[in-house]
Each structure stands twice: as C-alpha cells, then as structure tokens.
Amino acid sequence: MGTIIWYLIPALVMFCCGVYGFMTRRNMIAMLISLELMLNAVDINFVVFNRYLYPGQLDGMMFTLFAIAIAAAETALAIAIIINIYRSAKNIDVRDVTRMKF
Amino acid sequence: MESVGSIIMYWIIALSIVIFSVLTVTTRKILRAATYLLFTLFATAALYFKLDYEFLGAVQIAVYAGGIVVLFVFSILLTTHPGDNSEKLASRKRLLGFSAALVTLVVTGYALISRCANVFTRLPEMSTPDMSRIGEVLMGTGYGELLLPFEAISVLLLACIIGGVVVARKR
C-alpha cells in the first residue's frame, strides 16, 4: 500500500474520465467540469512525486498551489465567456457556437 | 508496515476518487455532475492530508470546493433548467470518446506498472512542512524561492477580474 503506484493509478483513472467527458459532452459547462478533472489529476501527480522523490522539499507542492490558482482564474474567465455566449445564442451547446461574433 | 487504519483510509480515498470521477462524466443531469465533482475534489483534498501536505489540502478545499464549484453551480442555474437531462449521445461519439480514454488508460497504465511497480516501495519519512517554511519559500527571493511567480499570479488574477467583468457585462 505504500508503493508510489497505488497513488498514481487513481489519478490516471481520474484523468481518463476527464478525457472521456471532454470528448463526449456537448454542454460547455460539462466540458469545463471534465477539464477540471484532468487538471486535478495532474495536481495529484505533482504532489505524489514530490512526496516520494524529494520528501523534504516543497517544489511540487508549490507547483500544485500555483496550478490551483491558475485553474480558478481560468474557470472564472471561461464561465464569463459561456454566460456571454448564452446571452447571444440562448443555449450553451458547442455545436451551436459556430461563429465568434453575432 | 502501515497501520490498518491508514490502509482503510487509503482505500476509502482511492475508491471515492475513482467512483465519483466516473459518475461525474457519465451522469446526464448537469447539476449532479457538479455535485460529483465536489466529492472528487474533497477526496483529492483527503489524499493531500494523507500525504502530510495539510496546507495544500486546506487550499484545495477553500479554492476548489468553496470557490470553483459554487461558480459552476451558479452558472449552471443561470444557463440550463436544472431538471433537464442532456440528450442521449450518438453511439459513434460515445465509442470515440470511450476508446480514446481506454487507449490512454491502457498505454499509460502499462507504462506505469511495468516501470514503477517496484520502485519507491514505501512512503519516506517526512514531517508536515510548517507554515513559516511555506511562507519563506512562497515570498523569498533566494534560490528556489518563488516571489516572482507569486507576483505574476497576482497580476494574472487582476487581469482575470477585469476580463471577466468586460466579457460578461451587459452591452
């Protein structure tokens, strides 16, 4: 149970769920949720490798900290764009967004 | 040798990560997807606590579970009717997504298990990094200290605030 692989496998499964969701979902917010899953899986990998390879140092943890901050900024901006699209197209299906400017 | 409680905690965390991630991408109600995402993020925070990064676990709960998921729920309620099911997928599309995910899983999983199964077989000893150390690394200017990225993140957040207001305002 202490081997590194036991921590990497759940992160891998989480990433693959994100890939599946990103390719099959049509709703933009659902695609964004899948994107968050993938980002989160990558964060877990940073932390686990930091913990096992360099237990005294904080580099991987800091990388995850900054990744969380950037994910928050990215989500806020993406949701602003989605709400703007909803205002002009009246739904948020990706197939309906074929023009950048209405 | 690890204690039994630690092993039980590991299995609870790992199983909830796997189950809730699968449910997040397979449920057809969008609000439920956001709720399952919340549980996945909580399980990730528990994993950080288990690996002794307590500050990181707290940040994960505060920023992800407290900020991002609330943002998701607000925007879902603004843009869709909460009771609606998403339409059924065309089987070709689902097959495409499923095979992409499966190929990723098999290739990466094979590489991981063949290379990493027998290395780093036990968790190295580490005390929880204390807050003064984290603060010094985050705000220091020496080698390996991260004041510049910290400032860059703050400018990025400012730009993000302005961009969000400009994009989402009423014309």
Closest-CA residue of B relative to A7 is B14
- Interface mutation target, options B87, B120, B133, chain A, most CBs of A under 10 Å: B120
Q: What is the pLDDT of residue A74?
A: 92
Identify which of B100, B144, B167 has the shortest CB distance to residue A84: B167
Interface contact B17-A71, CB threshold 8 A: no
**Three-class HEC string of chain A:** CCCCHHHHHHHHHHHHHHHHHHHHCCEHHHHHHHHHHHHHHHHHHHHHHHHHHCCCCCHHHHHHHHHHHHHHHHHHHHHHHHHHHHHHHCCCEHHHCCCCCC
Q: What is the pLDDT of residue B92?
A: 85
Start-end of H helices in chain B? 4-26, 30-50, 54-59, 69-79, 91-116, 131-139, 147-168
Would you say domain B4-129 falls under CATH 1.20.120.1200?
A: yes
How many other CB atoms are there within 10 angstroms of residue A24's CB atom?
A: 23
For B52-102, the pLDDT digits (tens) are 899 999 999 999 888 899 999 999 998 887 667 777 777 888 899 999 999
Report, as an integer, the average pLDDT of B121-132: 83
Domains of chain A: 5-96 (1.10.287.3510)
Quickly tell me which residue has 């806020």 as its tokens.
Answer: A76
For A47-88, the pLDDT digits (tens) are 999 999 888 888 899 999 999 999 999 999 999 989 888 888
Locate the domains of chain B by residue range: 4-129, 130-171
Interface contact A17-B22, CB threshold 8 A: yes
Residue B51: its chain A contacts at CB < 8 A?
7, 47-48, 51
Report, as an integer, the average pLDDT of A15-27: 92
Closest CA to A83 of B168, B84, B166: B168
What is the band of B1 on the pLDDT scale with cuts at 50, 70, 90?
low
Judge if ipTM > 0.90: yes
Interface contact B21-A17, CB threshold 8 A: yes
C-alpha to C-alpha distance for A2 and B124, rounded to whole angstroms: 9
Give B85's strand partners.
Answer: B29
- Interface mutation target, options B17, B26, B37, chain A, most CBs of A under 10 Å: B17
- Reading the block at residue B35, the tokens are 């709720």
Residue B102: its chain A contacts at CB < 8 A?
16
Interface contact A3-B67, CB threshold 8 A: no
The identity of residue B70, as a single letter, is V
Q: What is the pLDDT of residue A49?
A: 92
More confident residue, B129 or A68: A68
- Reading the block at residue B153, the tokens are 């993140």
Closest-CA residue of B relative to A47 is B48
Interface contact B51-A64, CB threshold 8 A: no
